[in-house]
Amino acid sequence: MVKALAPGQLRWTVNDASLDIAALEKHKDDLTGKPGALGQERALAALELGLGIRQRGYNIFVVGASGTGRTSTLRTVLDEQARTDPVPDDVILVYNFEDRDRPHTLCVPPGEGPGIRRRYETLVEKMIAELEKAFESETFLSQRQDLERAHDERADENLQDIEAEAKAAGFLLTRAQGSLSLGVADAAGNPMGEEEYEQLTAEQKQAYEEAAEGLQGGLEDALRKIRVVERETDEELEALSRATAAEAIDPLFAEAESDLSAHPALVDHLARAKADVLDRLRRLVPSDVPEQEQDGPERATTHQRRLIEEELDLGHDEPALLRYRVNVLVTRDKDGGAPVVVETHPTASKLIGRIVHKTRGGEATTDHTRIKAGALFFANGGYLILQAQDLFREPTAWEGLKRALKNHSLELDDPGEPGRMLTMENLRPEPLPLAVKVCLIGTPDLYYALARTDPDFNKLFKVKVDFDLEMDRSPERVGNYLRFLVGLAHEEGLLPLDTSGAGRLIEHAARVSQNRGRLTTRFGWIADLVREASFFAKKAGAERITRAHVKTALDARAEREGFLELRMHEDIADNRVRIDTAGEVVGQANGLTVIDLGSYQFGTPARITCRVGAGKGELVDIERETELGGPIHTKGTMILRGILLDRFGQEGPLKLSASVCIEQSYSDIDGDSASLAECCALFSALADVPLAQKYAMTGSIDQRGQVQAVGGVNEKIEGFFRATSQRDEKGPYGVLIPVSNLQDLMLDEEVVAAADDGRFSVHAVATLEEALEHLTGMPWETLRERAAHTLERFADITRERGDGDRRAPRSGGRPQVAAKSDQEPRSQS
């Protein structure tokens, strides 16, 4: 018999006296509810490497489970690093006078972008006012009138000859809108009316028509001369306007160029802008000033208002003042260090940027002021944090990010939306050099999938930062854990912890890690438990969170999420699912399984049976035959054949047929932790010796019969304890576990109390022989002799039937077997 473990071996407990909460609470304002990099020294070393190397491709992929503090730790480290990094430049867009579809992308010192935009706006405002004033000045109007008068005089000179000829022929010469026309004159020299003309004789009308034809050549010659005069006058007027405008705006642009002299690209842009203003005076300045229009500032205000309205009116091809606007894509705080940007919704437009279009009358237009920067623009010169899972939901975003990192440049382009029917005006700003450290956060599965399938991934993300799920339970780390718990309670306004409550939380951290020598680093889970315990403590009117409140919170969580567990245990209690816990049965053992529902795990017993008979060495796993068993369960069952060969195969061929079944199992199962129970049931059937049903067991087994560690050992033991606690029998009951799982025991206090009272026991076994001796109360040698005798009897039966096979079994034979899971959910039909 294997001796039961002492109650002290079933659970590690914290010595409350070792937790000096009072000392920590004296400095609670210095504590934080964020665990930081507690237990993540390896991750910090990798992060330091990734941040220290600035060469291409050394971007970072943070690997870890949710709740390990990976995001908060990364943010904290990046914030500290960014404070010492130089502040990157502001990014602005200005109009390209050579190619309007290719705006200039300019970098200016941090914080100066908005000032440059205001400087341009001031320049434009003053420019319009000065142009209004200059073109309404007496000097300009007088000069323009002189030119117009000279034009009229030259035109009159060119018409004198033809006008005299027309008058002599009885015509009047009329000039209107660039054309000349002849009209018949009456006796008084006035235009002849239509009625009077109709009273003329046919001969008189004929004479007038012939005279008009004779004057036609002179009229055309005079009109050509007038047009030459008009063209020359227009050129003179344009030259006058340019000279007047230049005189008005030269001081303004000179002042602006002086203010922006530190930016040669902007000085050059201002020079081109001034030339563009002089080329577009007719658009910027009213060509005709009605006499009745008000003078002075009111007139200038009217024209400026018209130009502003034009800025908002898409009826024009391009607003008049648009070319002289500055779009500040990104601006920085000059004392703020490098940027740390977290993009929570990394679509292509939010990551790279977007170009906003305005649609009117079915036509979509845009301009350089409607370009919006994405997260890469804001993070350029600093750090960008992205959740990998969110990023890969948008394939275009991932491809855009890779393209930017590979080219070391940011180029904003609008590829259009799928299904877009309209052809939209597109802009392509000049590319911007990219220097950003991208940090992706994801799960291990996603990281390894990308490493295998995406050829660019390993080139672009060379640094893997792995956040561990657990850490060693050293006194120093227990102290740090306590600092985290006290800081969390203070920071979030929860009730303070007493030593027993803090100790119970730390014990639960060891339980979650499934190793009493380690503590979980999934601090999010522990923080949730503190919040829930604080709720129940307040509800009870307590001043501090105690061990009892933590236990209440854990029980409440099990109550909320343990619906399936409750129903399965009710089925066992009502014998709808049969689990024998009394007496002895040949070829039947109680196995233990774990059901993982994601946020909640629980254990439950499973009845395993085995039947044997004469045959040809077949070992049938009913789970596999019905396609319910997974590959790991199949492997565990196949190992049973190896054990049989090891124990009895040296004496001759095995002439048996055996079937193994997990009874009342109706869904997929996997895992090999039932192989110990299956092997015990098999040997019990061969030896025809019953197994005590008050015991359940878990453990995998190798071909030499050595028992190996399994997962979920605490949940399995507690599952059998709860199943038996609903029975009328008083017990005692027990569980057999592998010796290698002793370090994992962190059983519920209720189980430990039952063990202390003798109502429940846990036994650790190292070999199949120890387990069988404990379950049968019979020495192994006796069991082996009985099993060997059964095999000899099966061999005799096969010889009598004439279907014996005296050859040794082939080592490559593959029996039909299947498998069982401790990790996949199992439902009962």
* Residues facing 657 on adjacent strands: 613, 618
Is residue 406 annotated as part of the catalytic site, yes or no? no
Please identify every stretch of the chain with a pLDDT value under 70, giving residue numbers as ranges. 33, 158, 160, 162-163, 165, 168-169, 173, 175-182, 185-187, 189, 214, 286-318, 360-362, 414-425, 728-729, 802-829
User: What is residue 154's predicted lDDT score, i.e. its pLDDT?
Assistant: 78
Range list of β-strands (E), 268-357: 327-330, 340-343, 353-355
- Please tell me the total number of residues recorded for the chain in this structure: 829
- In the chain, the amino acid numbered 416 is G
* Separation CA 708–CA 717 (nearest Å): 16
Tokens of 127: 């420019």
Compute the half-sphere exposure of residue 506: CA atoms within 13 Å on the CB side of its CA.
Answer: 31
User: What is residue 320's predicted lDDT score, i.e. its pLDDT?
Assistant: 79
802 Rama sector, left if φ>0, alpha if ψ -120 to 50, beta otherwise: left
* Separation CA 455–CA 452 (nearest Å): 8
Angle, alpha carbons 500-501-504 (nearest 5°):
85
Q: Which of 716, 761, 820, 821 is catalytic?
A: 716
How many C-beta neighbours within 10 Å does residue 419 have? 5
Nearest to 119 by CA among 98, 96, 92, 137: 92
* Separation CA 292–CA 403 (nearest Å): 62
Three-state DSSP at 441 gives strand
Nearest to 396 by CA among 353, 446, 342: 353
User: What is residue 171's predicted lDDT score, i.e. its pLDDT?
Assistant: 72
Strands 695-697 and 733-738: parallel
154 alpha-carbon distance from chain centroid: 77
User: What is residue 825's predicted lDDT score, i.e. its pLDDT?
Assistant: 40
Three-state DSSP at 492 gives coil
* Separation CA 416–CA 403 (nearest Å): 18
DSSP assignments along 665-701, one per residue: --S-B--STTHHHHHHHHHHHHHT-EEETTEEE--EE
* Separation CA 393–CA 570 (nearest Å): 42
User: What is residue 282's predicted lDDT score, i.e. its pLDDT?
Assistant: 84
User: What is residue 233's predicted lDDT score, i.e. its pLDDT?
Assistant: 80
Kindly state the greatest CA–CA separation across the chain. Answer: 156
User: What is residue 177's predicted lDDT score, i.e. its pLDDT?
Assistant: 60
Nearest to 686 by CA among 664, 714, 711, 658: 658
User: What is residue 180's predicted lDDT score, i.e. its pLDDT?
Assistant: 67
Write phi, then psi, for 294 (nearest 5 degrees). Answer: -65, 150
Q: Which of 513, 673, 675, 821 is catalytic?
A: 673
* Separation CA 323–CA 277 (nearest Å): 10
| First vs last C-alpha separation in the chain | 38
Is residue 716 annotated as part of the catalytic site, yes or no? yes
Tokens of 345: 């919704």
Angle, alpha carbons 516-520-522 (nearest 5°):
160
* Separation CA 293–CA 296 (nearest Å): 10
**CA torsion angle 428 429 431 437 (round to 10):** -100
Which sign does the torsion angle of CA 738, 773, 618, 678 carry? negative
> Residue 590 in contact with residue 697, Cβ under 8 Å?
yes
Tokens of 820: 């069982």
Three-state DSSP at 41 gives helix
User: What is residue 820's predicted lDDT score, i.e. its pLDDT?
Assistant: 38
Range list of β-strands (E), 225-352: 327-330, 340-343
Q: Buried (b) or exposed (e) across 591-616, using 16+ Cβ within 10 A? A: bbbbbbeeebbbbbbbbbbbbbebbe
User: What is residue 65's predicted lDDT score, i.e. its pLDDT?
Assistant: 87
User: What is residue 296's predicted lDDT score, i.e. its pLDDT?
Assistant: 43
